[in-house]
Structure 1
Amino acid sequence: MADLTGRTMLIVGATSASGRAATGVLAAAGARVVATGRSAPRLRPLAELGARVETLDPTDEADVGELATRLRRDGVSVDGLLPLVGGWRGGGGLAGQTEADYRALEPSLTALRHVSRAFDGDLRASAAGRLAVVSSTAVACPLAGGANYAAVKAASEAWTRAVAHGYAKAARDAGAPLRAAAVIFRVRALDGLQDRLAASVARLWDAHPEALNGTIIELTDDDPAGGTP
């Protein structure tokens, strides 16, 4: 197991099955975990795992900004960011790709944009900052019935690669070594892979940021290691 003692991890959308798995694994590895969700009652099991819990609407830019201010006021600086806001709506071929379905999927991109901007300074200042997002194999092979979903995931990947470019440029301009990395995990479906995702996120601190930044890591059912950062 990776040793994350001294690292602070922010998991956004932590009340999902993947969020609960990540909270457990990261806390067990020694990380201080800040777990967010919209529902205080659903956050209680994460508090029992040792996480600091915060209610948050990640699609509300002001709410995200208030969380960032609150954490900094408490002396908490984030070393790792894992946005897990997502969901699936699709089917019906291209004609079935309704505007309502697209709008229901779009919050995952909105949340990523808000939290990555709000904590960009923290991740750049960290001795080893990491942003990890979960995408889909649908980006590489989109289907008509999942066009809305693939489009949102593709936009999220583009945003993450832009974050990676920002990390590299900042280090280059400062004449300093790269310390932060933004990584994309692609899955066909998360069901059954929550523990592998959590373990793979924890192992991001075992790899050099130059080897990680801007990369895509595929997690598959037949990969017992859970992805190789």
Structure 2
Amino acid sequence: MSALQDKVIAVAGASGPAGQATMRRLAAGGAVVIGADIDQQRLDAAIAGVRTAVPTARISGQVIDLLDPQEVHDWADHLEAEHGHVDGLLHLVGGWRGSKTFRDTRLDDWDFLHDTVVRTLQHTSLAFQPALLRSEAGRYAIVSASAAHKPTGGGAAYAAAKAASEAWTLAMAHSFLKETTAEDGVPTAAAVILVIKALLSPEMRAEKPEAKFTGFTDTADLADNLADLWARPAAELNGQHLWLTAR
């Protein structure tokens, strides 16, 4: 039986290329998938795409404003009440802003990334942490970037946002270790950071079939790595950086 079978997994950022690939992979593995996005039309299209690709998919969608903390908390509570458990939140909300040089950096780029990347992560992690602690296999994952570890002058805002996201996720990992309810003290929940250079979608490859996209991570490979989180022990994963590109 698949490690994903009957796991209840929420995917934030469902309509993006990573979200769609991940929902397809989770559904194919037998998970109950709940996709969230702020745009109803894009969300409906993403859900329909999964159902077409995986006819047996158990999938639903929820329009959520991830910048509204109460709305996110209510969503987490509703999912646990409806399904009896929540086993995962995959935070696939992203965005990129940058400039040619450090001195050209616009602080409104930081404001955008702070909300899109950092604030949404804060809201989902705080809302879902209690349920993931109660799960027998709770997983929280974010997708970070190698830029957080080797910032460039023009990428200051983006690198800082990703670095902040990593620190926040590591703090969540520490909470899983310290607050575990397991009798043996071994955590059953894990917070994990997947590190990429950039994502490569099928659309990108189709537009530039001759391009090499060196170091990029295919969305299908990202989805496989995310799905694999439930096949590995929480203690092995918690607080880890999983590098999907060269360091």
Query: Normalised by the size of structure 1, how large is the TM-score?
Result: 0.91
Alignment of 1:205 onto 2:214: no
Structure 1: 5+ residue stretches without partners: 222-229
CA contact (8 A) 2:80 2:131 kept: no
Which residue does the alignment assign to 1:127? Answer: 136
Alignment of 1:36 onto 2:36: yes
**SS of equivalent to 1:87:** coil
**Which amino acid is the alignment partner of residue 16 of structure 2?**
S
Alignment of 1:148 onto 2:157: yes
| Residue pairs, 1:187-198, within 5 angstroms | 187-192=196-201, 193-198=218-223
Structure 2: 5+ residue stretches without partners: 51-56, 202-217
1:157-187 superposed Cα distances (whole Å, 9 cap, x missing partner): 0000000011111138965321111110010
1:172-203 superposed Cα distances (whole Å, 9 cap, x missing partner): 89653211111100100012421111100111
Aligned residues with identical type, % of pairs? 38
Which residue does the alignment assign to 1:92? Answer: 100
| Residue pairs, 1:1-229, within 5 angstroms | 2-48=2-48, 49=50, 50=57, 51-107=59-115, 108-171=117-180, 175-192=184-201, 193-220=218-245
How many equivalent pairs are there? 221
Change in 2 beyond 3 A, CA 1:76/1:13: farther
Change in 2 beyond 3 A, CA 1:73/1:208: closer
**SS of equivalent to 1:114:** helix
CA contact (8 A) 1:8 1:76 kept: no
CA contact (8 A) 1:186 1:217 kept: yes
CA distance in 2: counterparts of 1:204 and 1:33, whole angstroms: 15
Kindly report structure 1 stretches of 4+ aligned residues shifted beyond 3 Å: 172-175
Query: Normalised by the size of structure 2, how large is the TM-score?
Result: 0.84
* More divergent stretch after superposition (152-161 vs 65-74): 65-74
**RMSD, aligned α-carbons:** 1.8
Shift of 1:39: 0.9
